[in-house]
Structure 1
């Protein structure tokens, strides 16, 4: 038996221009908050610092997609999945839930409610977004891509 203790890995170290992150979260408001916080940490580690416009936009996209998965895509007992991918030019955010009903649509609300504008924000902030049925089971994946400018 080996009694040596491995050195802890350093989370948050820059990993260069490319990176991947994927994790399942409970379909609850707490799960959505944790997804936002961990995504923010990943963006910072990938060289998109907390105090820049790109970080704010990307974090807001994660917030809206995770909130939609919790509010509209929730199936009791099932989690949602967040996947992030980053290369030198593009960040891709994917949120997968297990509800098959409902097609994500960025439609202008017809009343003055404070809700129903999440996908409009995603449409405004992302360079591309869409959805597709989940290939390995019931549900759907909503994705958004953000093209990084030279300074972000």
Structure 2
């Protein structure tokens, strides 16, 4: 029925190699989750993880002339985020960071907040870094 969210949605978006791309990726995710039954339960973790994956692809996984592809898939029980880039020889690396470092924690966040995550070759050229999350648990009444 028009005006009612459906149970599952997919979206694809090409993003430039730009510091603005993580923000555009967040807006794409917000639009998608607005069309999914229960999509609001993915929003907080999803926004953080899409930002981290797109930032990594823009900074480490693409050359100046390449774009990255954001693929999103959501239904009431799962959100999958995929970021495709053109550099297959640069697999993401989990690394320990010093508490005072300002960067380097992105993949640690992805690992700790997602149910599954990984990296695989992309058909043709490049790689795909992906993660899947479940919905946040609903808060009991009166708890904020």
- Please classify the TM superposition score into its range, dividing by the shorter chain length: 0.7 to 0.9
**Count of matched residue positions in the alignment of Structure 1 and Structure 2:** 137
Are 2:27 and 1:40 aligned? no
User: TM-score, normalization: structure 1?
Assistant: 0.81
Structure 1 position 88, deviation (Å): 2.8
SS at match of 1:64: helix
Structure with higher Rg: it is 1
Are 2:12 and 1:22 aligned? yes
Q: Distance in 1 between matches of 2:104 and 2:112?
A: 14
**Kept in 1: contact 2:78–2:132 (CA 8 A):** yes
SS at match of 2:39: coil
**Any gaps of 5 or more consecutive residues in structure 1?**
1-9
Distance 1:106 1:14, change over 3 A: farther
Q: Distance in 1 between matches of 2:95 and 2:120?
A: 18
SS at match of 1:22: strand
Q: How does 1:98-137 map to 2 (within 5 A)?
A: 98-110=86-98, 112-135=100-123, 137=124
**Kept in 2: contact 1:89–1:149 (CA 8 A):** no
**Residue aligning to 2:142:** none
**Any gaps of 5 or more consecutive residues in structure 2?**
140-144
Q: How does 1:1-152 map to 2 (within 5 A)?
A: 14-46=4-36, 47-49=38-40, 54-110=42-98, 112-135=100-123, 137-148=124-135, 151=138
Structure 1 position 75, deviation (Å): 1.1
User: TM-score, normalization: structure 2?
Assistant: 0.85
RMSD over equivalenced CA pairs, Å: 2.1
**Residue aligning to 1:7:** none
Q: Residues 15-54 of structure 1, C-alpha deviation per residue, up to 9 Å, x if partnerless?
A: 32211011111011112221111212212322322xx5x3
**Kept in 1: contact 2:68–2:83 (CA 8 A):** yes
